[in-house]
Every structure is written in C-alpha cells, then in structure tokens.
Homo-oligomer: A and B are copies of this chain.
Amino acid sequence: MKSPVTPLGEFALIGRFFKEASEAMLAAQPHSVALGIGDDCALLRVSPIDELAITSDMLVEGRHFFVDANPEWLGYKALAVNLSDLAAMGAKPLGFTLALALPEADANWLQSFSKGLFAAAQAFECPLVGGDTTAGPLNICITAFGNVPKGLAIKRSGAQVEDDIWVSGTVGDARLTLAALRHELDLNPQDLEAIQHRMHQPSPRIALGLALRGVAHAALDISDGLLGDLKHLLEGSQKDAEVYLDRLPKSPTLLKQAIHFQNQFAASGGDDYELCFTAPQRLRSKIEEIGRTLQLPLTQIGRIKPMQSERAVLTVLSADGMPIDESQTALLLQSFDHFA
C-alpha cells in the first residue's frame, strides 16, 4: 500500500481522510484489526497462531505505467509490487485477487499480461484466488494476502535508538533505466540491458522478509525512493536517523554514471522494491549471514537516533561525517514521481 505522503499531494490528503475515518471506527467498536492503514500491509487477526497481512495497489494507465507498456512486464510488476509489501512485513504469500478493467478484450494483450502475472505468481508461490473483470478504462487492482506468526510482523513503527539501518541489493537502477528511456542521459545498450529488469520486473524480497522475522525491528519496501521511504519509517517509529550518502549500495552500471546521477538515483529513485530495515547492532553478524545465505548483498547505511524535535529528521552525511547542506538533502529526500 502507498504511504500517506505520495507525490500527489491532494490524493495523499484523500488517503489521510480515509485513514482517520477508519481509525475513528476502529476506536468505537470491537474488531479483528491488529494493524490498520499506514504500514505496508494491514494485519487481521484470523487465527490463534497467525495474522493475515493484506495489501492492495491500483495501477492506472498513464499514471503507473505507460500506455504502450509491455503487457508481460506489466502483469509481472502488478503482482510483484504487492508481494513487495508482503515481504516488507515478513509475511509469506498465500494468494491474491485481481480486478481488471479493460477497454477491450484484446486476446494478445491478455495472453501476454497473464504470462507475466502467473510467472510472478509461480516464482513467489502466490496463487490467483479470485477477482473481477469488467469493461472500462485500463485499471489493474491487485490485493495480496500473506500470513505471519502473531507478533512477528515487521512494522514501520518498531525502530529503536542505535539500530543499524540496512538496505538490500542495490538502489537506483530502476530510475537509471527510466532516465535512459527518457534520454536524460546516454546509456549504452549493454548497460541498459543489464539493468532494465529492475524497472520492469522487480524482485520482491520475500525470502529476506521471512529471514528478518524476529531480527529486524522495523522495515518497509522502497517504492518511492530510499530516503523518502526511510523518512516514513522514521515518522512511524518517531525517531531521527543519520545516513551516509556514500554507503548507498549501487550497481556497477550506476557506478559508471556521473556522481550527481549516482546520488540522486540511489537516494530518491524509487521503483527498486528493495527492503530498508533496522536491526540492533548486536545482530550485525546474523544479518550478514542472512545476506550470504540468500546471496543478496545487505548494506548498513546508517543509524537510528533519538528524536530531537517534534518531527522525525533524517540527516544525510557526506564521507567526512558532516551533514550535507539542507537544499541537497531536500532534493535527495524528494520521492520520485515517474509520471510527473
């Protein structure tokens, strides 16, 4: 699910509006909701043993994908972004529903969309269980379900002072792909080929989420940009943090680009669907072991600090340990809107 602050200011307000109405209702009557709106997933109490994690995303043509998007990639990505929300909670996928509005029943498009969708479903063992199809402007709404043992869901609100802040994989390649497609910079065909799957077919970090149960204090997935999303985690946890800009993990392809592109794309690129999580320093070797087991680099990029004012503050440090200037920080924290 989207965080309350998105590039679309007024739609963020709508989200906040529904969140408040939901909270008022939950406060007024008994219910089975263990966690409501505002995290990567909601949690429902459905069993004495497990909680059910639920996430829903609506993808609209022209807003979340281009009109001529490859339907196979689109099918894959539509499910993958929901699975990424399950991963961020430490939930194991159980199934998903697909509601699809289509302007016309185009057999080739559907065949291809379905191929991508079921490729993701099979790769992450998350079967399609129901849904709806109707005529209408192209709209893809997927709701995904996962289970997580009671009390082990990894929320945005759990970060503790002195926790390490970690990021999985590398960040910035989805944004670099878009930059190449938009001719914002030149990328040779081999380099584009090497990274474009990061934008089109992101890998939800399900196995990592499962391994982080009982290890990470807090987590979220990086959909809008690493630093902007980390800011949401800090707001959820009511903590400050320091992050070293030089430590953001980048692919060899991104490392070939000009330094300002490297920093901007890694910090605020979005669409990478890596996990950002916090964990106590004493578990550092445990986390390194998880990375080795999963063959997924895990990089420690900073530290959680006590909150110094009424609002959570993320300080970005340069290599010498000094904060970078405020205007640059603001730029790096800005969530990236692929369709702005």
Question: Could you tell me which A residues sit within 8 Å of B by CB distance?
Answer: 1-2, 8, 10-11, 13-15, 17-18, 21-22, 25-26, 29, 31-33, 36-37, 41-42, 44, 46-50, 52, 54-58, 60-64, 94-95, 97-102, 105, 110, 114, 118, 121-122, 125, 127-137, 139, 141, 143, 145, 147
Contact = CB atoms under 8 A, between A and B. Distances in A.
Given A11-B102, A32-B95, A135-B11, A130 B58 contact: no
A95 B10 CA distance: 26
Contact of A129 (B33, B95, B105, B129): B33
Contacts of A1: 130-132
Most buried by B among A11, A57, A143: A143
B47 A48 contact: yes
B21 A64 contact: no
B95 A130 contact: no
Given A47-B49, A57-B132, A63-B134, A102 B41 contact: no
Given A11-B133, A55-B130, 7 more contacts: A18-B128, A47-B48, A56-B98, A57-B99, A58-B99, A139-B141, A143-B143
A262 to B, nearest CB: 30
A18 B114 contact: yes
A164 B180 CA distance: 66
B105 A56 contact: no
A54 B110 contact: no
Contacts of A56: 97-99, 130-132, 141, 143
A8 B134 contact: yes
Nearest to A31: B127
A162 to B, nearest CB: 31
Given A46-B52, A56-B99, A137-B137, A11 B105 contact: yes
A32 B94 contact: yes
B63 A136 contact: yes
Given A46-B147, A47-B48, A95-B33, A60 B125 contact: no
A64 B134 contact: yes
B14 A95 contact: no
A118 B102 CA distance: 29
A42 to B, nearest CB: 4
A57 B131 CA distance: 7
Contact of A58 (B11, B13, B101, B122): B101
A64 to B, nearest CB: 7
A105 to B, nearest CB: 4
16 contacts: A1-B131, A2-B134, A11-B133, A15-B133, A22-B127, A41-B130, A42-B97, A54-B95, A56-B130, A56-B131, A56-B143, A57-B132, A58-B136, A60-B137, A101-B139, A139-B139
B37 A130 contact: yes
Going nearest first, the 7 A-B pairs with the smallest beta carbon separation are A47-B47, A60-B136, A58-B99, A42-B129, A141-B141, A10-B105, A42-B130
A101 B18 CA distance: 14
Given A46-B94, A94-B32, A134 B11 contact: yes
Contacts of A141: 56, 58, 99, 132, 139, 141
A253 B1 CA distance: 46
Given A14-B105, A17-B114, A58-B139, A122 B36 contact: no
